[in-house]
Amino acid sequence: MKYEVTIGLETHVELATNSKIFCACGGHSSANEPNDCVCPACSGMPGMLPVMNKSVVELAVTAGLMLNCDINRYTTFDKKNYYYPDLPCAYQITQLFNPICVNGKVQVKTNSGVSEIGIKQIHMEEDAGKLVHDEWTDTSLVDFNRTSVPLIEIVTHPDFHSAEEVVAYLEMLKSMFRFGNISECEEGAMRCDVNISVRPEGATELGVRAEIKNMSSLASIERAIKYETARHIDALERNTEVLVQETRRWDDTKGRTFAMRNKETEADYRYFPDPNLMPIVIDDEWLNEIKAKMPVSAEEKAKEYADAGISDKEIEMLTAERNLCDILDEVVALGCSAKEVAAWILTDCAGILRKNALLLSDLHIAPEKLAKIIKMVNDCKINRGAGKRVLGAVIENDVDPEKYCKDNGLDVQVDQGFIEGVVDRAIENNPAAVSDYKGGKVKAFQALLGACMKELRGAGDPTVIKALLEQKLNK
Amino acid sequence: MSYYVTEIDTKGNIAVDDTLLVKDVLSTAGSHILEGFAPLFSAEVVERVQKAGYTVSGKANVGEFGLDLVGEFSNKAATKDGSLVGAAAQLVAEGSVKAALGVDLNGAPRRAAALSKVNFIKPTYGTVSRYGVIPCACSGEQVGVYAANIADLKQVLSVISGHDDKDGTSLQHDSYDYDTDLEVKGTKVCIIKELLSSADDSVKASVSAYAEKLRKCGVVVEEVSFDMVNAAQTAWQILMAAETCNNLSRYDGVKFGYRTPNYNNIDELYVNTRTEGLNFLTKATIIYGSDVLSKGRYNDCYDKSLRVRRLVVEQIKKLLGDFDAILTPVCSKAEYKPYDIAEAFTKVFDESRYTAIANLTGIPALVSGGVQLMGSYFDESLILSLAKCVERVSE
């Protein structure tokens, strides 16, 4: 018999804000050690009140617009009650009754075609802390750095029918959110709960549902879905077990899921509206402001770059990293050509980073400095080789390009007259090479060119020098 | 016995309820479960009175988390007759301090002020910051002021009120001007019949005496019927219990305060810490609150109470459209008499009948001369002026 698997996802995404959702603490990524980014508010001390971080609302709305959602103009927060040591107040502030975004949809492309996934809702909430088990003393320690870090939870309809679709959807979210500066989406910043059921093809009722909790790697999610599908089919076909609605946990090392709790022992979270947070009203003016600030999507960016003459291969590399696009755009705005800047970034910057065992995603360079270097090369103030040296110094030590040229003698005045003098001197001081060249030894030209370059110490455009030298020798 | 849980400065002129945080000073909300808790910051109201030049004398004892309306569920008996009725109110009555700050979540400070013959005002919800109030019933609790006379009351209230960024429910006005010299002649005050009939004769007499004095000030006083007294009382009881259950769940023995020595696993740590750390009334409130929020009961209890709250607000606004203020008793007896524990438990609910409307709706309520005056939102000035006029007539 053929079976159909039905999957719905709940995806938690950590938002890239400067501070936590209800207090001024920095995000946990800035923490050096446990309980570094903690204040009385996010550690649950009595007397502190939550104060809403406006940029959380704006990022959530932006994410909702990206996923074609309706934005709820009146949105409220609720408290979800449960005891766990990593939850300092023993309640989580989340949205149950009036989530910020509803009724969205996205298209997901896989090898087997395009499918539409319905987004039921997106809501804002705070993250919990982390428990660290100390094997030595056999105690559990609590780290509140992650407590109150803002999250959005994206809930889909049960519209997925394969692990491939799920992975494609999550990859799409990841690149969309990274590119839109919604979330860094790094390891652990995107976590998924997978609701899965299996039924014989053509059946009208959905099968018994299992929820696999809290997975963060795409590989694990794929394996867990495949494992669960097989487990359900085994149960249906060979009665290996009686399926019950339950929550399960994926064990990556064992490669299987384990039951955590079933419907009877399910917790009652006793949700109720949080009286400490006023309802948020998103009026037209605010919504339009958010819309105006909507980041361009990677697709739009790619089209823009193609029009500017950048190659497909380069576009692919550039649009993989929002940071690169930002640098490129700013350098272009300072008067350089897009095509040229792309080459500087993808060839020269990449090479320097590689030497330092870094990736393009690690590129930090002031656009003004890159623009300066490109202009100095274009204006023949330095040659390309020297430009690369300056670039290395800028990336590694953030030096001032002009000052660096001066300090290292790269700023030789290289107008036509100066170069002519250098070429003349090279011919004058190397009579042997000149006569060798005139006698047909082509290699002697390289010696003369080298003499020019030596005196110019890397300044000047080699093609110009070459042409001048040739012209004078052949006179 | 001391009225203070912690005395800070013997020369201090303002006492604060133990439910308000004072930096580095033990703050226990009258509960064993907050044993040893010294906060890292002071409540906004404490900062404001200090900045205005007052000195905090100490933390006045309160019933656990301020929930104990009748003062019989004490962890530390504090007052001269062994009851917990308003340590702060008694400090003011004795003249030890000029004023005191109290947290009103179910009327305990109002009741204490009435029984101690001092004034207490619970201002309009949102006008005074709740930052640094050990939270219990956030949607209705407000910091108020005890004082021996209306002038002092007004002075301290002006200091503590006004917008605070640290409280998301704080209203946007930077400050409020309270005028205690409004013309009261010709204003109209109503007495709610349903609240008068449930009080004993001595209370009825003091309400009539107060009404008489108002009339001497040229105020028109009439008795009216308000049929939402029971609904308001029940709704606030439900909302208060639910919010208390939620706010008190942070006391789990993990982070601060009391931790049971008797546990083998995390569940035992939670259960035993809370069982040993909280008193009977608080535990009962938590269980009640937990019940009204549970899946099967939410719609019929919690959600319905929110709807009742909206109706009561509409009706009270209507009543305060017809009248300028409302006059009611604060409690059923004019003098303090101790209850035995079983009786006290039902009294905590019964007595909230007089005080619940102001907590539920957020309107200002002033206790003066042993009775309660409630006014329209932000109209503290009128009820203060009425009380001041009566104060003058009484002299």
Segment A171-191 mean pLDDT: 89
Segment A369-390 mean pLDDT: 86
Dihedral, A91, A95, A97, A99 alpha carbons, nearest 10: 180
* ipTM of this complex: 0.92
Closest to B131 (Cβ–Cβ): which among A47, A90, A272?
A47
Higher pLDDT, A464 or B205: B205
How would you write the pLDDT of chain B (395 residues) with one tens digit per residue? 478 888 999 999 999 999 999 999 999 998 999 999 999 999 999 999 999 999 999 999 888 899 988 877 766 544 445 555 688 999 999 999 999 999 999 999 999 999 999 999 999 999 999 999 999 999 999 999 999 999 999 999 999 999 999 999 999 999 999 999 999 999 999 999 999 999 999 999 999 999 999 999 999 999 999 999 999 999 999 999 999 999 999 999 998 899 999 999 999 999 999 999 999 999 999 999 999 999 999 999 999 999 999 999 999 999 999 999 999 999 998 887 778 878 888 888 999 999 999 999 999 999 999 999 999 999 999 999 999 999 999 87
Structure tokens at A201: 């093809």
In this structure, the answer to whether residues A381 and A460 fall within a common structural domain is no
Structure tokens at B217: 């000030």
Place of tokens 């309706």: A70
In this structure, the answer to whether residues A206 and A302 fall within a common structural domain is no
Chain A residue with the nearest C-alpha to that of B271? A83
Average pLDDT, rounded, for chain A: 90
Closest to A40 (Cβ–Cβ): which among B40, B133, B135?
B40
Distance CA B105, CA B91 (A): 20
A90 chain-B contacts, CB cut-off 8 A: 249-250, 252
pLDDT at A37 over 80: yes
In this structure, the answer to whether residues A312 and A461 fall within a common structural domain is no
**For residue A290, is it within any domain?**
no
| Whether B141 contacts B17, CB under 8 Å | no
Taking Cα atoms as reference points, which of B181, B183, B163, B146 lies closest to residue B16?
A: B146
B266 chain-A contacts, CB cut-off 8 A: 85
If you ran DSSP here, which 8-state letter would residue A116 be given? E
CA Rg value for chain A: 31
**For residue A353, is it within any domain?**
yes
A270 vs B: CB within 8 A: yes
**For residue A93, is it within any domain?**
yes
| Whether B283 contacts B66, CB under 8 Å | no
Residue A412 binned pLDDT confidence (cut-offs 50, 70, 90):
low
Chain B residue with the nearest C-alpha to that of A266? B295
**For residue A400, is it within any domain?**
yes
**For residue A41, is it within any domain?**
yes
pLDDT of amino acid B78: 47
Q: How far apart are the CA of B393 and the nearest CA of chain A, in angstroms? A: 41
3-state DSSP call for residue A278? coil
In this structure, the answer to whether residues A64 and A206 fall within a common structural domain is yes
pLDDT of amino acid B76: 59
| Residue A220 main-chain phi, psi, to 5 deg | -65, -40
CATH of domain B4-231+307-394: 3.90.1300.10
Q: How many CB atoms lie within 10 A of CB A468?
A: 18
**For residue A259, is it within any domain?**
yes
Place of tokens 């090279």: A426
In this structure, the answer to whether residues A325 and A300 fall within a common structural domain is yes
Q: Calculate helix-pair angle for B150-160, B380-394, nearest 10 degrees.
A: 160
Q: How far apart are the CA of B360 and the nearest CA of chain A, in angstroms? A: 12
| Whether B226 contacts B192, CB under 8 Å | yes
A83 chain-B contacts, CB cut-off 8 A: 249, 252, 270
CB pairs under 8 A between A and B: 92
In this structure, the answer to whether residues A331 and A402 fall within a common structural domain is yes
**For residue A350, is it within any domain?**
yes
A275 chain-B contacts, CB cut-off 8 A: 138-139, 169, 243
Closest to B168 (Cβ–Cβ): which among A51, A90, A270?
A51
pLDDT of amino acid B75: 66
Closest to B130 (Cβ–Cβ): which among A49, A273, A278?
A49
pLDDT of amino acid B57: 96
In this structure, the answer to whether residues A361 and A435 fall within a common structural domain is no
Residue A414 binned pLDDT confidence (cut-offs 50, 70, 90):
low
| Helix or strand run (H / E) with residue A391 | helix A384-397
A294 vs B: CB within 8 A: no
**For residue A157, is it within any domain?**
yes
B294 chain-A contacts, CB cut-off 8 A: 268, 270
In this structure, the answer to whether residues A398 and A447 fall within a common structural domain is no
Q: Do B293 and A270 touch (CB under 8 A)?
A: yes
Q: Do A90 and B130 touch (CB under 8 A)?
A: no
Taking Cα atoms as reference points, which of B387, B385, B374 lies closest to residue B195?
A: B374
pLDDT of amino acid B359: 98
A142 chain-B contacts, CB cut-off 8 A: 254-255
Q: Looking only at Cα atoms, what is the longest distance across chain B? A: 69
pLDDT of amino acid B5: 85
**Neighbour-count burial of A217, counting CB atoms closer than 10 A to its CB (0-12 exposed, 13-18 middle, 19+ buried):** middle
In this structure, the answer to whether residues A449 and A310 fall within a common structural domain is no
pLDDT in tens, A316-348: 889 888 889 999 999 999 989 999 999 999 999
- Domain positions in chain B are 4-231+307-394
pLDDT of amino acid B83: 55
Segment A401-413 mean pLDDT: 78
B256 chain-A contacts, CB cut-off 8 A: 45
Q: How far apart are the CA of A146 and the nearest CA of chain B, in angstroms? A: 16
- Number of separate domains in chain A: 3
pLDDT of amino acid A413: 58
Could you tell me the residue range of the domain that residue A442 belongs to? 416-473
pLDDT of amino acid B84: 55
In this structure, the answer to whether residues A403 and A421 fall within a common structural domain is no
In this structure, the answer to whether residues A70 and A210 fall within a common structural domain is yes
Distance CA A140, CA A129 (A): 13
Distance CA A469, CA B1 (A): 106
